[in-house]
Structure 1
Amino acid sequence: MARRSWTHRTRAQSRGAVSILMVVLLATIGMAALVSIDVGHVFYRQRQLQSVADMAALAAAQQLRRADTNAVMTERALAAAQASGTQNGFSGAAREDCGTSPGGEDGMTVCAGVWDPNDATAAAGGRHFRGGYDPTRMSPNAVRVVVSQTVPILVGLPGGEGRRLRAEAIGNASPPVAAFSVGSGLLNFESSRSALALLLGNTISLSASDWQGLVNTTVTLDQLRLKAGVGTVDELLNAGLSLSQFYALVLGAANKESLLNAMLGGMPAIIDARALAAGLNVGRVLDLGVLAPAMSSAADVGLNVAELLMLAAQVANRGAAVDLAGAVPLLPGSQLALRIVEPPRMAVGPVRRSTTDPMGWETTARTSQVDLGIKLQLGAEAEGESELLNLPLRVELATARTALTGLRCSAARADRRATLNTVTTAAKVCLASEDLAQCAESDVVLVNALILKVIASPKQQTVSGTSMTSTLAPGEQTSTTSPGQLAALVEALARNLDVKVRVNLILTTLNLDLKLGGIVSALSSVIFSVLGPTLDGLLAALGIQLSNADLWVHDVDCDNTRLVY
């Protein structure tokens, strides 16, 4: 009897132990299921929060494409991030915070700053983002958005009310940019070849098809950077180069190395020395109207190869007198020299207002500032002979400046447009001093024959500047050049001369004040009918016009906004 009672209790105890284990097991499984639901919910909310951050960063970065002051762009970016967050179901408030560890409390922090993949000091975590920068040197090209939110725990476990989630995104965008130049006369092969030969001091052995290939070819700043072997666009712009090195860089980046010897063969060493002394670099021929490191936004815009070569040759000859007598048919004893006071610059940049530039716009191109000295002589083949005519002239050629005032972007390159405003200064021609370096301040002897001397008072003639607005597609060119302007200007000066005639007789001297400008004008007209067309062509190839300008839009780049972190 005792044995049966003991067996019954053992079985009952076993059944009770199994029940307890089953309860514990079921509770564990239930708890694991609930924890899994919570973990899944947290991961889902994290992905949702990351999506909010991504969309807000892209929306905010798009505001940087509208070039404006840094303060205005930051304000727009903050408003765009807030609107994007609300649209995507995030109710937290957005605030500006460029701290190193933002997102400590629920909400959205927005920071407009600088993203530069080549900035090693800001490479922590792969961000390459810097919230602090010098606004006088740089403009923001990226927006960092950090979104923080506390997610409630679905199963109320002891130890906390919820889990704080954090998502971060960096959107990069730069305004669309255009590359353009003013005063391009590169389409005329003969004039362009003659102009380059004068500037380089050698014989250019290019064919017309070779030159046309250069005119039709573009290179980007990024291609030039890779060819130069430097890390950043800024390093490329500031790397000092001789003219030979500059030509090798540009032609190499354009896969035109075979033309290097045809252009530079026989060039005097002094040209390279002048280029180094003038501080030739890529930055000297480009007015990059975007601030670093948003220079990267201009890295993919096309730059015309022929234009770069012509501009560099003019930079190398800055301040030097270029003798044009061999290129322009002149009378014996006559002189013709050109001096580049300030070389031209191509422009690459966005549409941006300026409070300091006279035109009111940040991105501007300009032609050369050039002085031209002309001394026309007739009847003075040998030293000491009397001169039938001596007409010393100094021409201050007009400069033109063109500002980028508008851009229209499109997916198709052919549908993009750049709006340019061009203003030219007044051109001036005057009777020159003996060395042709400045306008004469005293009477000038025009004729010094045996018994006859003709003297003219100082005189000058001007052509007023012009202004025009043009809208061009990439690769398009417009011209408002009228031929023979220099000849017309000189004739107008000669026609209005106040002339004194002194006749030396045997016993006396006769002094007569006469209006003989018509005679001088007729003589200069005959001379310039031969000299004018060739000289005008040379000046056009150098990008120089008297009162008008040629415009050329090389490329328009509309970069897309993207996430970089």
Structure 2
Amino acid sequence: MLVAIAALGAVDIGNVFFVRRDLQRVADMAALAGAQRMDDQCAQPNAAAAANARSNGFDPAAGGNTLALACGRWDTQSNAGPSYFNAAATPLNAVQVTATQSVPYFFLGPSRTVSATSTAKATNVDQFTIGTTLASVQGGLVNNVLNALLGTNLGLSALSYQALASTQIKIGDLMAAANVLTVNELLATQVTAGQYAQLMLTALSRTQVVNANLQASVAALQAIAGAHLGGGTFKLGGQPGAPGVFALGLSDTQAAADAKINVFDALMVAAEVAAAGKPAVDVATGLQLAGQGARLKLQVIEPPTIVIGEAGTDPKTGAWRTQANNAQIRLYVSVDLGTTGLSPTGVLLPIAPLVSLVQNLIQVDLSLPLTLQVATGSAWLQSTSCAASAAASRATLGVQPGLANLCIGDVPTDLPAQQTFACNVPATLATLGVLSAPLLQVKSAVALPAVVPKASAATLTFNGVAGDADDYQTTNSNAVGSVIANALSGAAQSLTGSNGLALYVLGVSVPVGTILNPVVSVLLNLLGPVLSSLDQVVVPLLNLLGVQLGAATVHNLALTCGTAQTVY
């Protein structure tokens, strides 16, 4: 009799065990399905989990059955074990499912409630930069900027750079090329710009990412890697006080392994990281402003960043987890306005015969010294939503353009990068020299500062398709094309107004009255075309460096929807 009772009890216990095992399977699969459809409002995971449970034979509406789902955050750094799940934490990256079923005993006693819980996570990772645009990819301009920043002599075509701009590799490809096993090890890797180019070349030759211009990109990187690039060493991962190519906004950095980066963006950021904080360098651009020649010097105060991370804010600090900053750049432009139309008149009239006799000894030069420094603009990842297709997936970013300070004045071009920008020295606009020694100088009465103010913050929404038309989006696009000219219009009026100019003889200011009217007339004729052409010439250069004025363009590289995995 006892043996029979024990056998019947074993049947009931076995049935409970079988149901619990089946419930665990249902909970695991439902949690995975919910995590695959994660969004910041937990709108999709509930329906996805319930539909998956039904497809696996579990009906939440049946008597004695329940299916409870909670969206939350799985984070080994912030949450307590063993589950590391917190339903109140954000940003959401995990789903916890509890399936419950009432199981009747066949032989011994009343029914029993059996439950199973499963937690699955899927981190949606977005990658983006702020400031760079495809329109800035002009072969000669890129060559000149890279040559200046890295002390090399590249001569690639625009097509080569455009190929790089349409080519992607995975962070995991870089890990394999660097022979490291974790993302953290990659971020700690220290390289020169040349070594980094070689690293990307190796990664590109192994990547499984489909790239239409693979061969052209490989050839371009081979040329760059073999060009003896200068610059110091830097870590690939940025940290306070030591910028790098990448900045991660992930609690689990390994989630970045499948993230894709743009090869051209990564190359430009690396060049600026290598040059950051160093003295200004000459950029041999062959710039022409309204037909006038111009000399340009460039100094990288802070390089831009490529950010890889998840959406939302850090509950401990309130800061955005994933935020990209544009470059902080100081640009010195000296425009040679020529001497056409400037004949010795007024106070200069007595030396007119001398000018005609000894033109080789006397030099008359007109110039416009302009300095520009751009403060930080930023973009941050507000939310992500992964759908069944990349086209239906979304990444929403907030964007704040930075302000820019401009100065018509004699700003020293050898300022340390850390020194505060100041516009307090009048601009030398005209010089009459004898044997290269300045005899007479016409200067602005005062230095003329101008500001491109911050535009309002905006929100941009991108789909999950890489390489389509919405990869580049710009805020305040109506400001593009005239922002420098508009900012300097007041300064130009000050120069050409009464008392706008001052005369210096052997470095000493002298009263002038109206005798500088001929110079004012020449400036009126020259300044308008020069100022209006600054935007067409200087802005593409700034965009190439990840800098914009009055607007902000975000390049959303790729939204990588996380592969769901069971974590508890």
Task: Normalising by structure 1, report the TM-score.
Answer: 0.69
Question: What is the DSSP-based 3-state SS (H/G/I as helix, E as strand, rest coil) of the residue aligned with 2:19?
Answer: helix
- Offset of residue 319 of structure 1: 1.6
The separation in 2 between residues aligned to 1:398 and 1:265, in whole angstroms, is: 34
AA at the equivalent of 2:122: A
Aligned amino acid, residue 278 of structure 2: A
How many residues in Structure 1 have an aligned counterpart in Structure 2? Answer: 492
* Correspondence for 2:342: none
Question: Counterparts of 2:490 and 2:285 in 1: how far apart (Å)?
Answer: 25
Q: Does 1:549 align with 2:544?
A: no
Letter in 2 for 1:288: L
Q: Tell me if 1:400 matches 2:395.
A: no
Deviations 1:96-129, CA, capped at 9 Å, x for gaps: xxxxxxxxxxxx999978578xx9xxxxxxxxx8
Task: For structure 2, list consecutive stretches of 5 or more residues without a partner in the other structure.
Answer: 206-216, 340-358, 416-420, 433-438
Q: Distance in 1 between matches of 2:121 and 2:538?
A: 49
| Superposed displacement of residue 281, structure 1 | 13
Using the TM superposition, give the Cα deviation of residue 527 of structure 1 relative to its aligned residue in structure 2, in angstroms: 4.9
Matching residue of 2:523:
520
Q: 1:273 to 1:53 in 2, by over 3 A?
A: closer
Q: Does 1:471 align with 2:456?
A: no
Compute the displacement of 1:132 (Å).
Answer: 6.2
Please, which of 312, 323, 327 is the counterpart of residue 281 of structure 2? Answer: 323
In the alignment, which of 306, 325, 342 is matched to residue 302 of structure 2? 342
- Letter aligned with residue 11 of structure 2: I
Counterpart-to-counterpart distance in 2, 1:559 and 1:412: 13
Shift of 1:66: 5.0
2:343 alignment partner in structure 1:
none
Amino acid at match of 1:496: S
Q: Which amino acid aligns with 1:447?
A: A
Matches within 5 A, 1:439-450: 439-449=422-432, 450=439
The higher radius of gyration belongs to: 1
What value does the CA root-mean-square deviation take over the aligned residues?
5.0
- What is the rounded CA distance, in whole Å, between the counterparts of 1:509 and 1:31 in structure 2? 119
Task: Give the Å deviation of 1:344.
Answer: 0.8
- What amino acid sits opposite 2:492 in the alignment? A
Give the equivalent residue in structure 1 for 2:128.
180
Q: Which has the higher contact order (CA 8 A, sep 6+)?
A: 2
Determine the structure 1 residue equivalent to 2:493: 495
Aligned CA distance change for structure 1 residues 53 and 419 (closer, same or farther; 3 Å):
closer
Residue in structure 2 matched with residue 125 of structure 1 by the alignment = none
| SS of equivalent to 2:28 | helix
The answer to whether the Cα contact below 8 Å between 2:191 and 2:234 also exists between their aligned partners in 1 is no
- Give SS of 2:120's match: strand
Secondary structure, in 3 states, of the residue corresponding to 1:414?
Answer: coil
1:424: Cα distance to partner? Answer: 1.4
The equivalent position to 2:447 in structure 1, one of 458, 462, 477, is 458
State percent identity of aligned pairs: 28
What are the within-5 Å matches in structure 2 for residues 61-72 of structure 1? 65-66=38-39
Deviation per CA, 1:57-89: give whole Å up to 9, x if none: 5588689x4559xxxx9xx99xx99xx999488
What is the CA distance between 1:323 and its match in structure 2? 2.9
CA-CA distance at 1:247 after TM superposition: 1.7
Residues 42-57 of structure 1 correspond to what in structure 2 (within 5 A)?
Answer: 42-51=16-25, 53-54=27-28
Cα distance, 1:551 vs. partner?
A: 2.5
Matches within 5 A, 1:51-450: 51=25, 53-54=27-28, 58=32, 65-66=38-39, 87=60, 131=83, 169-174=118-123, 176-187=124-135, 188-190=137-139, 191-255=141-205, 257-269=218-230, 271-273=231-233, 284-289=244-249, 291-293=250-252, 295-329=253-287, 335-353=295-313, 361-377=320-336, 387-397=364-374, 399-436=376-413, 437=415, 438-449=421-432, 450=439
CA distance, structure 1, for counterparts of residue 546 and residue 412 of structure 2: 25
1:368 positional shift: 0.7
Over 3 Å counting, the alpha-carbon distance change for 1:146 and 1:556 in structure 2 is: closer
Shift in CA distance, 144/512, structure 1 to aligned 2, threshold 3 Å = same
Q: Which has the higher helix share?
A: 1
Q: Is the 8 A contact 1:324 1:338 kept in 2?
A: yes
Structure 1 contact 430–458 (Cα < 8 Å) conserved: yes
Q: Equivalent residue of 2:190, what SS?
A: coil
What one-letter code is carried by the residue in structure 2 that aligns with 1:314?
A: E
SS of the residue aligned with 2:542? helix
Separation of aligned partners in 2, 1:345 and 1:387: 45
Structure 1: distance between partners of 2:260 and 2:163 = 15
| 5+ long unaligned stretches in structure 1 | 1-23, 95-107, 120-128
Give the TM-score of the pair, scaled to structure 2.
Answer: 0.69
- CA distance in 2: counterparts of 1:398 and 1:297, whole angstroms: 31
Q: Which amino acid in 1 is paired with 2:460?
A: S
- The AA in structure 2 aligned to 1:292 is S
Shift of 1:254: 2.2
CA distance in 2 between counterparts of 1:478 and 1:109 reads 36
Preserved contact between residue 274 and residue 317 of structure 1 (Cα < 8 Å): no
